[in-house]
Amino acid sequence: MKITKSLFHAGVLGLSLLASAVMAAVPAAEADKLGKSLTPMGAEMAGNADGSIPAWKPLPKNAGTVDSKGFLSDPYASEKPLFTITAQNVDQYKDKLAPGQYAMFKRYPDTFKMPVYPSHRGATVPDDVFAAIKKNATTTNLVAGGNGLENFETAVPFPIPKTGLEVIWNHITRYRGGSVTRLVTQATPQTNGSFSLVYFQDQFVFRDKMKDYDPKNPGNVLFYFKQKVTAPARLAGTVLLVHETLDQVKEPRKAWVYAT
pLDDT given at position 13: 44
Predicted TM-score (pTM) of the model is 0.76
Give 51-68 pLDDT, tens digit per residue: 889 999 998 877 888 888
Domain boundary among 116, 136, 162: 116
Question: Does 105 map to a domain?
Answer: yes
Mean pLDDT of the chain: 88
> Residue 238 pLDDT more than 60?
yes
Same domain, 106 and 220: no
Same domain, 149 and 196: no
Dihedral angle, C-alpha 98, 99, 100, 101, nearest 10 °: 50
pLDDT given at position 3: 45
CA angle 242, 189, 228 (to 5 degrees): 25
pLDDT given at position 136: 96
Q: Are 132 and 153 in contact (CB under 8 A)?
A: yes
Same domain, 244 and 201: yes
Question: Does 145 map to a domain?
Answer: yes
Same domain, 94 and 154: no
Question: Does 189 map to a domain?
Answer: yes
> Residue 115 pLDDT more than 90?
yes
Distance CA 164, CA 160 (A): 11
Report the pLDDT averaged over residues 184-213: 91
Q: Are 142 and 148 in contact (CB under 8 A)?
A: yes
* Domain tally, the chain: 3
pLDDT given at position 93: 96
Give 73-93 pLDDT, tens digit per residue: 888 989 999 999 999 999 999
Same domain, 48 and 149: yes
| Structural domain for 238, as ranges | 179-258
Give 158-190 pLDDT, tens digit per residue: 999 999 999 999 999 999 888 889 999 999 888
Dihedral angle, C-alpha 85, 89, 95, 97, nearest 10 °: 30
Q: Can you spell out the DSSP letters for 140-182? A: -EE-GGGSBEES--SS-S-SS--SHHHHHHHHHT----SEEEE
